[in-house]
Chain A
Amino acid sequence: MNFSIIKRTLGWILIFEAVFFLVPLITAAVYREREFFDFLMSMAICGSLGGLCLIGKPKNNEIYAKEGFVITALCWIVMSLFGALPFVFSGSIPNYVDALFETVSGFTTTGATVVDPNVGVEVLPRCILIWRSFTHWIGGMGVLVFLIAFLPLSGARNMHIMKAESPGPVVSKIVPKVRTTAKILYIIYFGLTLIQFIMLICGGMSVFEAINAAFATAGTGGFSIKNSGFADYSSYIQIVVTVFMLLFSLNFNSYYLLFRGKFKEAFTIEVRTFLIIVAAAMALVTLNVFASGTIESFGGALKHSAFSVASIISTTGFATEDFNLWPSFSKAILVLIMFIGACAGSTGGGIKVSRLLIMGKSAGNEMSRMLHPKRVKRVTMDGRVVEDDVVRSVHSFFIAYLLIFAISLLIVSLDGESLTTNFTAVSATINNIGPGLDMVGPMGSFTNFSWWSKLVFIFDMLVGRLEVFPMLFLFAPGTWRK
């Protein structure tokens, strides 16, 4: 294990975090809020600790798969540990575990909150609100990808970091160089965020609100700065947000291909399947909600159903309506699409459409092999063979994911909340969505859970964002053996 390079990367992460604090710092200065000094202090702590870690040259720059995983997991943990400081310093969320929950929820683009629903988020200072939204934006594309794009980190093996941080079963480059690939992804990300910001401004949102909403949508996060979420905004804004939630849950490589004029290649089977699932879920929920009379106008039913489906499947977690009150069929659909999640290579969470496709196809192959034992069949996607290694890793991902889900559910159940609450709470955190049903519904919060449950949720959120393995390797004894 190359400890010196790990230390160095962690140092850079802290320095970057100090730079990230500039955003709330400037906000606090603009609105003349006293939390300015809390952010300044957090910034000083991160900056000086980061600087300390950068002293001395690393003996070697080699990053192998093992280091890639460990660096990724540790970076996210360290970033969250320090990102929680301003919440505690400012007294907005005085309890450190709560503050950590909120920060991890931010970075992992979950959007689950511990702010008491009876108090609401509107009492929080604006600099704290923007820090919450900004953590979504940083976490969406991944801070290490950012590091690769803009830092002279060692050469070829950076791919191991990118693989560990980027969502999806296979991570491929779109251009030969890792660094250029990372830059292109960030440019797409930044561009889309900017377009959404402008469109929200056109819809009459204030600059502050638009920035927050754009950050939270881009990262498919879900922190809102209003107690009522998006319920009070105009239909135009709700539709814009719906569209952008879906846009950010498509594979970013597709945008690059579209840009290069390769329309056929851009609409991969994953993107097509995702769009079909979205359309079907929206139609079913609309009909169900309209027929049951929960929402009386068809237009309203369509709008709210579309918003909720997009919000859940993109793993954002915004709300315009309390879907807790919808009929069971609609709730069942929403819970099911929680697990499907977005496309690989997007900012969204969940199991990912491509994994489900691979698992479905491989299950089909197995069945046909039972009928024709000599039959040779391989899993293909977009006319290409999916290597057996990938199929195997998708299967083990799924098993590990289910195990973590089960264990988390058991521990959380000790708190004594209802099964629906516990099940959807674990699902909402491990899939990085945010709201679930019952107590943790769109208008609820995680505040009533005990501290150990919150720690479990924190772990689940990181597991979900980093896709299981990096977090598990941290606890494997073999990883740390010299």
Chain B
Amino acid sequence: MNVIIVGCGRVGCTLAEKLIEDGGNSVTVVDMDSVKVQELTERFDVMGVVGNGATHTTLLEADIKSADLFIAVTNSDELNLLCCMVAKKEGDCQVIARLKSPEYSEEVEYLQDELGLALVINPEYAAAEEIARILRFPAAIKIEPFAKGKVELIKFRLPEDSHIVGMSVKDVMIRYKCDVLVCTIERGDDSYIANGDFVFEAKDIVTIVASPKNAKEFFKIINYKGHSIKNAIVVGGGVITHYLCEILDRSGITLKIIEKDRKVCEELAGLFPACKIINGNATDKELLLEEGVKSAGAFVALSKHDEENILLSLFVQEVCQGKLITKINRIDYDNVLNRLELDTTICPTHITSDVILRYVRSARKTRGSNIETLYNIIPGEVEATEFIIKERSLIAEKPLSMLRFKENVLVAAIYRDKKVIIPRGNDVIQAGDAVVIVSKRTGLHDITEVLR
């Protein structure tokens, strides 16, 4: 697939990396800043074009005529829209725009229909949605919905005092008779696809697949202390906070927002009267203590600076028992962050590139199946992919135990007729099913790739 990416910021960079890793994509990046373009062309096998992505000369140079996909992810919403319009006029391609401002987010449908955008991504809104999901179900580090929310992929850190520590996966399943599937386990820098004999250790990061109801039961059974959250402190009044307020409006979770800028505070206070807006500097320890950080149900660090967010979370971890959510934009230091045990981290850049990558993969038509959802359980290592099985697929109509799977592949869930099946050996995949595959082989395009 020929892809043009306009904007070589963090999102553009991650996207280029992912698309190249995915194989089979020819990527051209466009940016006004020649230094950024050069950096990217040196790091990845992409072509660089320096220029304004909204001018048709630049786009012609980037070979818009033979492009299949056009992605505008510059910092400016208006520029992105303009780029997409010009691209649509000049070439015959699908266009994707990144729009972050709340004004446009209300008009997404209009924009998609009228301007012919294939997809509008809003990293900030997606991040806010994910934060909201976690606040509603704080036991998890991450929750990702599959099959239209009927199945969830839940990632959590095993507490030291849990009584399943030291038991094998098989024993836990037999003893507690719960309908969940353990997918992956991360221990230190290693990750494993779980099999029945795997033994849990304290502080393992475990990913399970289950329906929301079964998941709640499972957490009750294993005695995971996850009470519902009534109030949360949010640091920073940026766009994500704005969306978060919208989503959590009348949800029973009250937000307390700490923001430096008086103007932003006033604006938020006008829009969301139910939220408590505090005008002050969150790095001020006294202020945090005064505002009751010790008793907060959750602490969400959403300031502009990654460093500030990490530091604040580390401090709050010491004084508060609640849920911690930290926004981190730079993603280069994954393993170091893992070691800090920051609880949940949110990365808008990752969310965006996941959404686009999912689109790219599903756009490539395959014979036996179609990708519906894609989620990085462990970025770059383990992926969960949801396929819709078409008729005559090689994998269908045979009991799972009869199929020969490659190593490190797990059929995590089957969704059929609005019912979730956590698959066992004698279950059969049928045409029309949605199947979630967890695998260490990233970049799957077709479900049959998991077979030997």
Q: Which residues of A contact B (CB under 8 A)?
A: 155-156, 158-159, 173, 175-180, 387
Knowing that A177-B45, A387-B34 are A-B contacts, what are 4 other residue pairs whose CB atoms are under 8 Å apart, sorted by A's residue number?
A156-B45, A159-B41, A176-B28, A176-B45
**A239 CA / B136 CA spacing, docked (Å):** 82
Confirm or deny: B404 has a beta carbon within 8 angstroms of a beta carbon on chain A. Answer: no
Contact in complex: A176, B46 (CB < 8 Å): yes
Chain A residue with the shortest CB-CB distance to B29: A176
| 16 sampled A-B residue pairs with Cβ under 8 A | A155-B20, A155-B45, A156-B43, A158-B45, A159-B42, A173-B41, A173-B47, A175-B47, A176-B26, A176-B27, A176-B28, A176-B45, A176-B46, A176-B47, A177-B26, A180-B26
Partner of A175, one of B20, B26, B34, B43: B26
Contact in complex: A156, B34 (CB < 8 Å): no
Confirm or deny: B44 has a beta carbon within 8 angstroms of a beta carbon on chain A. Answer: yes
- Minimum CB–CB distance from B42 to chain A (whole Å) comes to 7
Q: How many A-B residue pairs have CB under 8 A?
A: 28
Chain B residue with the shortest CB-CB distance to A178: B45
**A424 CA / B285 CA spacing, docked (Å):** 77
**A300 CA / B46 CA spacing, docked (Å):** 51
**A175 CA / B47 CA spacing, docked (Å):** 7
Chain A residue with the shortest CB-CB distance to B20: A156
0 or 1 for each of B30-61: is its CB under 8 Å from A? (1 = yes): 00001000000111111100000000000000
CB neighbours (8 Å) of B2 from chain A are: 176
CB neighbours (8 Å) of A173 from chain B are: 41, 47
Chain B residue with the shortest CB-CB distance to A179: B45
**A158 CA / B43 CA spacing, docked (Å):** 10
**A173 CA / B44 CA spacing, docked (Å):** 13
**A156 CA / B34 CA spacing, docked (Å):** 19
Q: Which residues of B contact A (CB under 8 A)?
A: 2, 20, 26-28, 34, 41-47
- Minimum CB–CB distance from A57 to chain B (whole Å) comes to 18
**A178 CA / B41 CA spacing, docked (Å):** 10
CB neighbours (8 Å) of A387 from chain B are: 34
Chain A residue with the shortest CB-CB distance to B62: A176
CB neighbours (8 Å) of B44 from chain A are: 156
- Minimum CB–CB distance from B24 to chain A (whole Å) comes to 10
CB neighbours (8 Å) of A155 from chain B are: 20, 45
Contact in complex: B45, A159 (CB < 8 Å): yes
Chain A residue with the shortest CB-CB distance to B3: A176
Chain A residue with the shortest CB-CB distance to B26: A176
**A158 CA / B41 CA spacing, docked (Å):** 11
- Minimum CB–CB distance from A147 to chain B (whole Å) comes to 15
Chain A residue with the shortest CB-CB distance to B2: A176
- Minimum CB–CB distance from B332 to chain A (whole Å) comes to 16
**A141 CA / B45 CA spacing, docked (Å):** 21
Chain A residue with the shortest CB-CB distance to B25: A176
- Minimum CB–CB distance from A300 to chain B (whole Å) comes to 47
**A348 CA / B229 CA spacing, docked (Å):** 72
- Minimum CB–CB distance from A382 to chain B (whole Å) comes to 12
Chain A residue with the shortest CB-CB distance to B65: A260
CB neighbours (8 Å) of B47 from chain A are: 173, 175-176
CB neighbours (8 Å) of B41 from chain A are: 159, 173
CB neighbours (8 Å) of A159 from chain B are: 41-42, 45
**A382 CA / B42 CA spacing, docked (Å):** 23
Chain A residue with the shortest CB-CB distance to B41: A159
**A394 CA / B28 CA spacing, docked (Å):** 27
- Minimum CB–CB distance from B391 to chain A (whole Å) comes to 35
Closest 9 CB pairs of A and B: A176-B47, A176-B26, A156-B45, A156-B44, A176-B28, A173-B47, A178-B45, A177-B26, A176-B27
**A90 CA / B134 CA spacing, docked (Å):** 77
**A459 CA / B449 CA spacing, docked (Å):** 51
**A137 CA / B45 CA spacing, docked (Å):** 27
Chain A residue with the shortest CB-CB distance to B44: A156
**A387 CA / B46 CA spacing, docked (Å):** 19
CB neighbours (8 Å) of B42 from chain A are: 159
CB neighbours (8 Å) of A179 from chain B are: 45
Chain A residue with the shortest CB-CB distance to B34: A387
CB neighbours (8 Å) of A178 from chain B are: 45
**A301 CA / B228 CA spacing, docked (Å):** 96
Chain B residue with the shortest CB-CB distance to A158: B45
**A63 CA / B43 CA spacing, docked (Å):** 10
- Minimum CB–CB distance from B17 to chain A (whole Å) comes to 9
CB neighbours (8 Å) of A176 from chain B are: 2, 26-28, 45-47
CB neighbours (8 Å) of B26 from chain A are: 175-177, 180
Residue of A155, A159, A176, A180 with most partner-chain B CB within 10 A: A176
**A387 CA / B39 CA spacing, docked (Å):** 14
- Minimum CB–CB distance from B14 to chain A (whole Å) comes to 15
CB neighbours (8 Å) of B34 from chain A are: 387
**A57 CA / B34 CA spacing, docked (Å):** 37
**A178 CA / B45 CA spacing, docked (Å):** 6
- Minimum CB–CB distance from B134 to chain A (whole Å) comes to 35
CB neighbours (8 Å) of B46 from chain A are: 156, 176
